Structure 1
Amino acid sequence: MPGAPRATDGLDAARVSWSVDGRLVLDGVDCTAPPGAVSGLLGPNGSGKSTLLRVLAGVRVPDPAPGRDAAHVRFADADLLALPRRRRARVLALVEQDATTDLPLTVLDAVLLGRIPHRSLLAGDSAADRDVAAAALARVGMSAFAGREVATLSGGERQRVHLARALAQEPALLLLDEPTNHLDIAAQLDTMRVLRDLAGDGVTVLAALHDLNLAAQTCDHVVVIADGRVVAAGDVHDVLVPDVLDPVYGVRCEVLTHPRTGRPVLVFDSSD
């Protein structure tokens, strides 16, 4: 991704709280994602993963903090919460799960939406924009679908189109909410390979994931949250252990070692 600036400092969020209808969804969350690495955001359903990603992306505003330090979200020496929307969209991209549109967009047109932050408001798509969009589609294996309408695609195909749209933004920070949702196992592995390749190019990646073994096999760093609070964060070998996972997920976990990669392989049983 040649257009993305390279961060020497990764994502650093602190004291992030968010509530709705008097219910605290995020409770003073501190979250980091190292530069040029794939970080997994893990936790049970309802733990606050999606909400945290939306706050980090500026889609939702964190709660004020009367009498104490306010939340901050910094990346590469920039205060993301203070950046104007268009400038922030040139720094980060968010891929939400199950994003839909009723507009009759082709796949190529949907991906070209990712170029909007990089051009003037009244400008049309340039040849360079189309080249970036075509490269993004190729990277996610969707080039053959460029002329199809998004509404005709399967859930997994749409998910890859949303990823391509985010890649077309050429972000330095990529936030993803369940990017392997709806994908078969081959497509899941391919998506995680794309994320690892992006990290190798210097992009900082933070992805909410449900599959703990997929996280164990592909992430450099993980953050586990439960009930809106961070329970543990760090290297997969240190965090994906029974002492952390058993109480968070209500299971009994055994950790094996992959014979080829040396990474953790998790085996679960009911806690009953």
Structure 2
Amino acid sequence: MSADTRTPDDVAPATEARSAAGPGGLDAARVSWSTAGRLILDGVDVTAPAGAVSGLLGPNGSGKSTLLRVLAGVQPPSSGDAAPGHPASVVFAGADLLAAPRRRRARTLAFVEQEASTDLPVTVLDAVLLGRIPHRSLLAGDSADDRAAARRALDRVGMADYADRELTTLSGGERQRVHMARALAQEPALILLDEPTNHLDIAAQLDALRVLRDLADRGVTVLAALHDLQLAAQHCDHVVLLSGGRVVAAGDVRDVLVPEVLDPVYGVRTEVLTHPRTGRPVLTFAPRG
């Protein structure tokens, strides 16, 4: 992570806006992105309420990872593709994230990418301590508070015993949990995750989603791209469904995860049951035809 060297006085105040997602929520509008003449995101509007686990769903190639990278500021949105004269906006808790300098944005937002690998010989603890960089001055080293925050984050994802291991010696699932710990150590108000259950066995998947639920219960805004619709049905409060770079449905899981919405998007036949204990939808799928 490279730190922004500007001070707050060098930057104009963030634009104030009223978020449709409510106080503390994420509200993005008209987000487009294209490459080599191909439109990947086509004027996407997405909200993620505060205090909820929001799932970003869609088939492979629908634009989920690209959308998260634009929202996180990793890559800028394309200009003018969806609505000429009406640029994309990404607003969180009344602040314009696209206009915020990188260091200020990193104090608010953490992003867990799907493939965040490294060949550098760093320990697990050092990798998690990267999440503390936005909270200290540019030339300062790790403080006792930083190390305590990193160890708490490792404990929350079940990786406390791995603190002194080199990151490169871990399995894909273990590295995924370390990257989530790095995001937790960042202490964000908004966390974006790209397939956080990727490479994880079922117990670790449930643990990861439990961590996201705990964050949401503390008021953190959570938006996670998920490949598994069943996990989304059981653990998300709010979902956004993408297809072909556009939002085709958004809202409560009980309203979006239904056959009339899912079948044309995924090309399957969906049946929705009700979990006898939680009352949440349980999905089964069959080939169409």
When the two structures are superposed, what TM-score results if normalisation uses the length of structure 1? 0.97
SS in 1 for 2:177: helix
Matching residue of 1:26: 41
Counterpart of 2:164 in 1: which secondary structure?
coil
CA offsets 1:73-120 (integer angstroms, 9 cap, x no match): 000011000000000000000000121011100000000000001111
Shift of 1:67: 3.2
The answer to whether the aligner puts 1:8 opposite 2:6 as a matched pair is no
Displacement after TM superposition at 1:228 (Å): 0.1
String of CA shifts for 1:12-58, please: whole Å, max 9, x gaps: 00000000000000000000000111000000000000000000000
Whole-Å separation in 2 of the counterparts to 1:122 and 1:253: 55
Q: Partner amino acid for 2:24? A: D
The equivalent residue for 1:198 is 215
Hey, what does 2:10 align to over in structure 1?
none
Per the alignment, residue 145 of structure 2 pairs with 128
Superposed CA RMSD in Å reads 0.9
Q: Which has the higher contact order (CA 8 A, sep 6+)?
A: 1
Task: Provide the secondary structure at the position in 2 that maps to 1:90.
Answer: helix
Query: By how many angstroms is 1:9 displaced?
Result: 3.1
Question: Would you say how many aligned residue pairs link Structure 1 and Structure 2?
Answer: 266
Match in the other structure for 1:115:
132
Q: Which residue of 2 aligns with 1:221?
A: 238
Residue from 87, 91, 97 that aligns with 1:80 = 97
Counting only pairs closer than 5 Å after superposition, residues 1-272 of structure 1 correspond to structure 2 as 8-65=23-80, 67-272=84-289
Partner residue of 1:4?
Answer: none
CA shift, 1:251, in A, is 0.3
Q: Distance in 1 between matches of 2:195 and 2:262?
A: 19
TM-score normalized by structure 2?
Answer: 0.91
Identity %: 78
Structure 2 counterpart SS, 1:62: coil
Letter in 2 for 1:59: V
Describe the superposition over 1:120-146 as per-residue Cα deviations: whole angstroms up to 9, x where unpaired: 111100000001001000110100000
Quote how far apart the aligned CAs of 1:68 are: 2.8
Which consecutive residues of structure 2, in runs of 5 or more, have no partner in the other structure? 1-21
Cross-structure match for 1:3:
none
Q: In structure 2, give the amino acid aligned to 1:238.
A: D
Which 4+ runs in 1 deviate beyond 6 A? none
CA contact (8 A) 2:24 2:221 kept: no
- Structure 1 unmatched ranges of 5 or more: 1-6
CA distance in 2, matches of 1:21, 1:68: 22
Q: Which amino acid aligns with 2:131?
A: G
Q: Which residue type is aligned with residue 23 of structure 2?
A: T
